[in-house]
Amino acid sequence: MANSEIEQLSIDTIRTLSMDMVQQANAGHPGTAMALAPLAYLLYGEVMRHNPAHPHWPNRDRFVLSAGHACVLQYSALHLTGYNLSLEELKRFRQWQSKTPGHPEYRHTEGVEVTTGPLGQGFANGIGMGFAERFLAATFNRPAHEPVVDHRVYVICSDGDLMEGVSYESASVAGTNGLGKLVYFYDDNRITIDGTTSISFTEDRAKRFEALGWHVQSVDDANDLASLREAIANAQAEVARPSIIIVRSHIAFGAPRAVDTAKAHGSPLGAEEVAATKKALGWDPDKHFYVPDEVREHLNRVERGNALETEWNTLFARWSEAFPRAREEWDAAWDGRIGAWTLPEWEAGEELATRDAGNKVMQAFKHAVPTMIGGAGDLVESTKTELVGGGLFSDSWAGRNIAFGIREHAMGSIVNGIGVHGGCVKPYGSTFLIFSDYMRPAVRLSALMGLPVVWVWTHDSVGLGEDGPTHQPVETYAALRAIPNLWFVRPADANETAWAWKIALERQDGPVALSLSRQKVPTLDRSDLAAPSGLERGAYTLWESGSSPDLILIGTGAEVGLTLQAGRKLADGGTAVRVVSMPCWELFEQQPADYRDQVLPPEVKARLSVEPGVSLGWERWVGDRGGSVSLEHYGASAPGTTVLEQFGYNLDNVVARAAALLERVS
């Protein structure tokens, strides 16, 4: 068979498999997969350095399908090139417990690098991978030796991705930082669910990316393999700027009636149209999930992938012998290991904001995690999250501090991309707690993927003061606690903050969010209190006046000190009181039932929580007869101490509320 013939047969196999998957499932998005089959053929068959037999080798090229709705395109390519994705799994597309879900899922399907679906996320994730590649290259490559870190990130994105603001935010960051190992393909099919893009998306996308500092090319026909090859070669040669190739395609290419229609985006073509398309392509319309033997042989990349990895392994062995100390650091980085460090401790009574304590903790552990990188949304002076002495990434790719600018959403998605890349231990992003709303989609995906990333949010209550209700997060605690697999930690003082960072560094199966104060809080005198290490269990008995309490007061964050004062005053009046510090609901919920019952005895019904946010969710811990000192309204602009006082976060009010509760419950 002539080369052009086997190429076309392979491309059409991707098209027919994609059609068949969607048709059998009676759900999905066939059109983009049919249009971009030539591009997938080139990327998986020729361009990318990947190994289907070992999908996770460190120096592989990364591929991100930001247009995750077109996942049948990727599933077809993975199957045909030899990944562990059988034809039976293709037939089970979108079915219960299949390896072919309706959008690509990280750690679920071999060869899928990141969970995509919400448009724009994959676009920004790819940029995070680009950050990781450049940083690790600057950290581990040596001038006198061939590079051990040298790979690219290939991303397919759609009109929808570019319409989402996160793509603009993150593209700006990529251009500013000269991430030249990024090669993006924009599928310019001019169709969305609502119809033509002419009704919603008319700016000059090429000029947009040129203005953002990208290398921009256009290919007028997605079926023109020669032009695609030339554009890809040009993009690979451009190392000073990220590249985007605008590919003009026709959605549902090959379908006689569905081509260039909005319906082809998100609906099965229908049995009649599938048959007609196969016939037009020269295929037997009665064959389903058919892969010609010559295509399977032509596209299998296991042997090539093994050769590429073996070549790199040989290079890596030479590098390891030449630079044994760097090899030790490499192993620690790729294993996600944290080196030895000492938790700082503060003297009783010392007053400082937990954001300031957090900064001191970061300086204490920064050498234990030499490949940690991250930054803030243009707020590093306020969030105190600089790795001092680590350098600025925009000055040098070895810099550990990334200036994300005022781009919270992009920051979150980029940090996720750094996290899935591997080698950069515990990447982090930071802003004010209220602006976690701007990055919520990325935070949710970090939890969904189980990424070991850290979110550092400061100015975490109405106590921030004069900036007023727009900046004061009264509903935010509850909103974040609603995200499964996210640990939301609100430490009470400086010493609890150190332990909060400790659990954030040690967690491997999901993100940890640190909620830190702007206002100063006194360091608790632990002489008659439990140690701050109790934070590791999510909640612990901080102090009690007797072993059989009649009343339990539960505090979080900066309000724990106030809660303790109230408990002592009530005890002085003869009440048997227990004060519980509960910095992390999620960790406490994971403790054995007997420990939870030990801290919060079920027989004690008088329980009062103290936290400057809405009470939603607290019924889980205070019970149906307990109460909450909470805020069911927005904040106000005034000095933080005044705001807290006016809203009832003072000793007299907490004591009065507790006494009233005890009387009511008794």
pLDDT of residue 566: 98
pLDDT of residue 546: 87
Give tens-digit pLDDT for 613-661.
999 999 999 999 999 999 999 999 999 999 999 999 999 999 999 999 9
pLDDT of residue 497: 98
The DSSP H or E segment spanning 85 is: none
pLDDT of residue 285: 98
Where do the domains of the chain lie, and which CATH numbers do they carry?
A: 29-250+297-304 (3.40.50.970), 351-522 (3.40.50.970), 535-665 (3.40.50.920)
Angle formed at CA 104 by CA 417 and CA 486, multiple of 5 degrees = 55
Mean pLDDT of 546-561: 96
pLDDT grade for 666, boundaries at 50, 70 and 90: confident
Q: Give the whole-number percent of the chain exceeding pLDDT 90.
A: 99
Q: Is residue 547 scored above 90 in pLDDT?
A: no
pLDDT of residue 656: 98
Mean pLDDT of 122-135: 98
What CA–CA distance (Å, rounded) separates 306 from 499? 44
Phi-psi group of 82: left, alpha or beta (phi > 0 → left; psi -120 to 50 → alpha; rest → beta): left
Q: Note if 408 is an active site residue.
A: yes
What CA–CA distance (Å, rounded) separates 555 from 570? 15
Picking from 479, 447, 433, the residue whose alpha carbon sits closest to that of residue 616 is 479
| Residue 233, phi then psi, degrees to nearest 5 | -60, -40
Task: Say how far residue 633 (Cα) sits from the centre of its chain.
Answer: 30
Give tens-digit pLDDT for 477-520.
999 999 999 999 999 999 999 999 999 999 999 999 999 999 99
Given the residues 408, 496, 559, 586, select the one marked as catalytic.
408
DSSP string covering 353-406, please?
EHHHHHHHHHHHHGGGSTT--EEESS-HHHHT---TTS-BTTT-TT-SEEE--S
Measuring CA to CA, how many Å separate 481 from each of 31, 213, 511, 563, 587?
A: 38, 39, 12, 21, 11
What CA–CA distance (Å, rounded) separates 93 from 75? 9
DSSP string covering 320-342, please?
HHH-HHHHHHHHHHHHT------
Give tens-digit pLDDT for 393-452.
999 999 999 999 999 999 999 999 999 999 999 999 999 999 999 999 999 999 999 999
Mean pLDDT of 588-615: 98
pLDDT of residue 429: 98
Q: Is residue 567 scored above 80 in pLDDT?
A: yes
Picking from 378, 387, 397, 93, the residue whose alpha carbon sits closest to that of residue 240 is 397
H-type alpha helices, 82-140: 87-91, 121-140
HSE-up of residue 391 (Cα within 13 Å, Cβ side): 14
pLDDT of residue 373: 98
Q: Is residue 124 scored above 90 in pLDDT?
A: yes
Give tens-digit pLDDT for 232-290.
999 999 999 999 999 999 999 999 999 999 999 999 999 999 999 999 999 999 999 99
pLDDT of residue 139: 98
pLDDT of residue 1: 74
Angle formed at CA 377 by CA 395 and CA 488, multiple of 5 degrees = 125
Give tens-digit pLDDT for 444-480.
999 999 999 999 999 999 999 999 999 999 999 999 9
How many C-beta atoms surround the C-beta of residue 541 within 10 A? Answer: 18
Give tens-digit pLDDT for 316-366.
999 999 999 999 999 999 999 999 999 999 999 999 999 999 999 999 999
